[in-house]
Amino acid sequence: VAFMSCEEKKTERVLNFPKTDLALAPIIPKPVKVIATNDGFALDHLTAIYTSENEIGFTEVGEFLSDKIKSKTNLIVPVNATEIPEQEGIIYINKADSTDLKGAEAYQLYITKDSILLNANTAEGAFRGVQTLRQIIPETSTDTLATYPIWTIPTGKIIDSPIFEYRGTMLDVARHFFSVEDVKKYIDLLAYYKYNVLHLHLSDDQGWRIEIKSWPKLTEIGGSTEVGGESGGFYTQEDYKEIVAYAAMHHITIVPEIDMPGHTNAASVSYPILNGNGKTPKLYEGMKVGFSTFDTRKDTVYSFIDDVVREISELTPGPYFHIGGDESHVTKKKDYIYFVEKVEKIVHKYGKRMIGWDEVATANISSSSISQFWASKENADMAVEKNMKVIMSPAKKAYLDMKYDSLSPLGLTWSGFIPVDTAYVWKPEAYEGIPLKNILGIEAPLWSETISTIEELEYLAFPRAIGYAELGWTTEENRDWENYKTRLAAQAPFLDRMDVKYYPSPLIDWE
């Protein structure tokens, strides 16, 4: 028996490999450097994974890879197994302190016909590298003379690291609620393209979506509605923890947003004491913005915010808390500034770094706070003057909720149409004169006024979110629309296998 299996070893199987070219592999985001050696590594039933077991998180990364190989190929690839009689073609996932690994998310892949070596400084870097590896495993097995299937991975070397440390998307779960399952599926897809942040817009005029134990009516009342009069919904703290943990497993940071002092109708319906205009508000199911505000001069409002920021921060391991701060059209300018400055202190009290929409830079806030540029260059410039970091989310380029074109059944149009090429062909690192040193990264928001199901979410997010992933990771010299188009076309089999209802843009020759 031993002799028989020897007969079937690599040499024989390798004979049948067509010449490979790693440099042509449709990897998104495009890596810094790819060198092809034109041979093939056979992924098959003899493959095994070994990880740096003593380093935090590396074994989990190995298990993640094994799991994804299983769903793509049906192969069972053992991780750190000790008693496997026969293994060939080992995938090593190692911690390495190499000087050419730039930062926590950097990785290197050395693929030969006998082994794959994935090196990174951290489990996070290894996780990013695993996404590259997943992308170069062919969708179907390679035909060989062997009696069992193999998947040919092209050999060569990949050296890679991102340009930005913050690469996010935002999901508005307030205008329409999305279930924990929906959010998990979105996380699966984001992780594959190396996103590292998911910002959840957890409150707005139309709904409050996270349980706050000290203020239970927020979800009981404020969570009961959505745009269009549908039934709303909210995450219990257990649900939210589940999302946070699932994101963490994918090395994605959750950024919670409680939008205030405007966009607060749902909170004020639940507790009318928060409202500044003296009227008793009603539940709101429309799409207008800018009509609600907290009373910025009332102590109760700040003890409320203290409770909310404390409870959410306790459930959120990531460093950020997003306070919204956009479109407070009925808050007086001086009240708005007073409010943002007070809330920043509360955010700091609970150990978080504050993010706000670009308007927050009009207040006198710390340089450690972050301004999210969505509409006003003037506000973004104020943030730069204050030495703050800026997240690039310009509505004309990066809004996932804009229609692709006039035929799009879903989406809004206030900042224009955003076809797939417009979404890709711009430079977040040199946009509207914001200095590169101030740019923390890029985020593509998906507002949900016009979408209420995961299919609709997918239609607006994909394929544009794939392009934003590349803008956040890949240097400008390595980006090119014509080249990107062919790599994007090659995502179709993956998206189909994941059952993603993406928009089949006619600009792309889908595979």
Q: Which is nearer to ligand TNX, 127 or 357 (CB)?
A: 357
Rounded Cα gap, residues 150 and 40, in angstroms: 11
Q: Would you count residue 357 as binding ligand TNX (CB under 6 A)?
A: yes
**Cross-strand pairs, 172:** 201
Question: What dihedral do alpha carbons 66, 457, 496, 243 form, nearest 10°?
Answer: 10
Residue 178 sits in the site that holds ligand TNX (CB under 6 A)? no
d(CA 111, CA 156): 5
Contacting residues for 13 by C-beta, under 8 A, at least 6 apart: 42, 44, 144, 145, 146, 150
The reply to whether 447 sits near ligand TNX by the rule CB under 6 A is yes
What whole-number distance in Å separates Cα of residue 132 and Cα of residue 167? 16
Among 23, 221, 410, 412, interactor with ligand TNX by CB under 6 A? 412
Please identify, using beta-carbon distances, which residue of 48 and 174 lies nearer to ligand TNX: 174
Active-site option among 105, 327, 449, 458: 327
CA dist 423 and 444 (Å) reads 10
Smallest distance, ligand TNX to C-beta of residue 43, A: 43
- The residue to which tokens 């607060």 are assigned: 264
Judged by CB under 6 A, the residue of 226, 257, 295, 327 near ligand TNX is 327
CB of residue 395 vs ligand TNX: minimum separation in angstroms? 6
Interface pattern 264-303 for ligand TNX (x via CB under 6 A): -------------------------x--------------
- Of 160 and 259, the one with the shorter C-beta distance to ligand TNX is 259
Shortest Cβ distance from residue 325 to ligand TNX (Å)? 8
Residue 297 Cβ vs ligand TNX, minimum distance, rounded to whole Å: 24
Rounded CA gap, 268 and 204, in Å?
11
Whether 230 is catalytic:
no
Query: What distance in Å separates the CA atoms of residue 42 and residue 17, rounded to the nearest whole number?
Result: 9
d(CA 334, CA 324): 17
Would you count residue 177 as binding ligand TNX (CB under 6 A)?
no
Query: Counting contacts by CB under 6 A, is residue 330 touching ligand TNX?
Result: no
Buried b (16+ CB within 10 A) or exposed e, 291-302: bbbbbbeeeebb
- Give the integer Cα–Cα distance in Å for 304 and 216: 12
Q: How far apart are CB 176 and ligand TNX at their closest, in Å? A: 11
List binders of ligand TNX among 225-244 (CB under 6 A). Answer: none
Report the C-alpha gap between 270 and 223 in whole angstroms.
Answer: 9
Q: Is 336 in the site for ligand TNX (CB under 6 A)?
A: no
- Binding flag, residue 257, ligand TNX (CB under 6 A): no
Minimal distance, residue 470 CB to ligand TNX, in Å: 23
Q: Which two tokens stand for residue 45?
A: 């039933």
Which position among 41, 195, 374, 503 is part of the footprint of ligand TNX (CB under 6 A)? 374
Asked if 326 is part of the footprint of ligand TNX (rule: CB under 6 A), the reply reads yes
Residues that bind ligand TNX (CB under 6 A): 289, 326-327, 357, 374, 399, 401, 412, 447, 449
User: Which residue numbers are catalytic?
Assistant: 327
